[in-house]
Amino acid sequence: MTEAPRSTSISRRRFLQGSGLAATAGLAGCLGGSGGSGLDELNVAYMPIYPDMQYFVMEEEGLFDQLSVPVAGKKFSDGPSIVQASATGDFDVMMFGIVPAMIVMDKGIPAKITAANIKNAMQILATDEFAALWEEHGSDAFAEFEAQKGRKFTFGTFPPGSVPDILLRYWIQNTLGLDPEEDVNIKGLGGAAAVQQALLSNNVDGTSIMEPVPTVIDANDAPFQSIAWAGDFMPGQPAAVTLMHDRLRQDNRDLATEFVELHQQATDFVADDPDTAAQHASSVIGESALPVETARAALDSPASDFITDPHDIEGGAEIFADYAQTLGKTEAQLSIDEMFDYGVYGSL
């Protein structure tokens, strides 16, 4: 069953906040010279997930006020909802997973990736009980688990073809030499909240997931731990990206450059001031779901590797493009040239 898109609109901040990046004098390269760009507003689709951290910072720090046009942000609960909404062509920027981005491009919507948001973002979690088997048996632990339990190990993660799902399948097949269809069960549960709830209620044996879920699980003393990290078996693993419609990246190149430069500033801000970045993440995601102290702890994870340079995910993007086509998410296997526009970042 396909969940109907749920979204929440927010307007850009009208006044600069009193400290942090909002107080900078201006961007290198002098923003604000695109008043005649032809775009009266920049429509941005995003998700309340850690891999969209740059959006949190740009919004909460008032950086959007430095752009030459207003920003209208629309929050979506998941990537497929953005894909569905993108059919109207209304969004100038979409910040979401690389696989949904591939689907948008494969559908013929004129857009390319101009920035990466994060790399090496996925952790493979398993129960403490299984982790002991893993320590002893390695990849044979799944067969040992089935022999002991009389059932296959069950992973619960994002829907089939999503970034966490493809990363999990790659790890099982290419790193462990097992069959993701035969040697384990993989259940698509929905978004991060659904996966987190399944872990906390012990309804699955493991998952492939990004921060802050592993840190939330640890903070709740749930019996799970990381047994693998994407940075070890797929260095440069792509996760969320910044996809730009051609009317922005081609027809309004100066404005596109302004946005990516803000993106880079936000990336730098997370590295330089993680305490404030954690407050922004908690604010956007919701403090009841993600307390500030948990948000801050999640930023210390190796899976919180925020970037802007799209070159950093090129190798992993080729792997994901292959899997996306094999799994039927795209009709064709997209090439690097079809997916990326490096020129916007290169002009900074």
Please write the tens of the pLDDT for every residue from 125-180: 999 999 999 999 999 999 999 999 999 999 999 988 889 999 999 999 999 999 99
Identify which of 171, 224, 229 has the alpha carbon closest to the alpha carbon of residue 196.
224
How many other CB atoms sit within 10 Å of the CB of residue 81?
22
Omega within 30 of 0 (cis) for the link into 310: no
Tell me the Cα Rg of the chain.
20
Whether pLDDT at 20 is above 90: no
Residue for token pair 């850690």: 50
Whether pLDDT at 18 is above 90: no
Q: What is the pLDDT of residue 12?
A: 35
Bridge partners of residue 8, in order along the sequence: 75
Residues 6+ apart with CB under 8 A from 36: none
| Separation of alpha carbons 63 and 346, rounded Å | 21
Q: What is the pLDDT of residue 34?
A: 39
Residue for token pair 């994060």: 118
Whether pLDDT at 215 is above 70: yes
| Separation of alpha carbons 51 and 280, rounded Å | 13
Residue for token pair 């998941």: 78
Whether pLDDT at 92 is above 80: yes
| Separation of alpha carbons 253 and 259, rounded Å | 10
First-last CA distance in the chain: 43
| Separation of alpha carbons 216 and 35, rounded Å | 43
Q: What is the pLDDT of residue 3?
A: 37
Q: What number is the average pLDDT over the span 73-78?
A: 90
Enter the DSSP assignment of 13.
P
Bridge partners of residue 95, in order along the sequence: 242
State both tokens at 243. 């996809």
Q: What is the pLDDT of residue 131?
A: 98
Q: What is the pLDDT of residue 79?
A: 87
Q: What is the residue type of 273?
A: D
With 0-12 CB in 10 A as exposed, 13-18 as middle and 19+ as buried, what is 263? buried
- For the chain, what is the mean pLDDT? 90
Residues 99-130 as b/e (b if ≥16 CB within 10 A, e otherwise) read bbbbbbbbeebebbbbbbbbbbbbbbbbbeeb
Q: What is the pLDDT of residue 23?
A: 41
Domain 7-119+237-346 CATH superfamily: Periplasmic binding protein-like II (3.40.190.10)
Whether pLDDT at 237 is above 70: yes
| Separation of alpha carbons 345 and 348, rounded Å | 6
Fold of 122-233: D-Maltodextrin-Binding Protein; domain 2 (3.40.190)
Q: What is the pLDDT of residue 119?
A: 98
Whole-model pTM?
0.86
Q: What is the pLDDT of residue 249?
A: 96
Whether pLDDT at 31 is above 70: no
Q: Where are the domains of the chain?
A: 7-119+237-346, 122-233
Domains 7-119+237-346 and 122-233 share a fold: yes
Whether pLDDT at 97 is above 80: yes
Q: What number is the average pLDDT over the span 80-108?
A: 94
| Separation of alpha carbons 54 and 266, rounded Å | 5
CA 13, distance to chain mean position in Å, is 24
| Separation of alpha carbons 155 and 167, rounded Å | 12
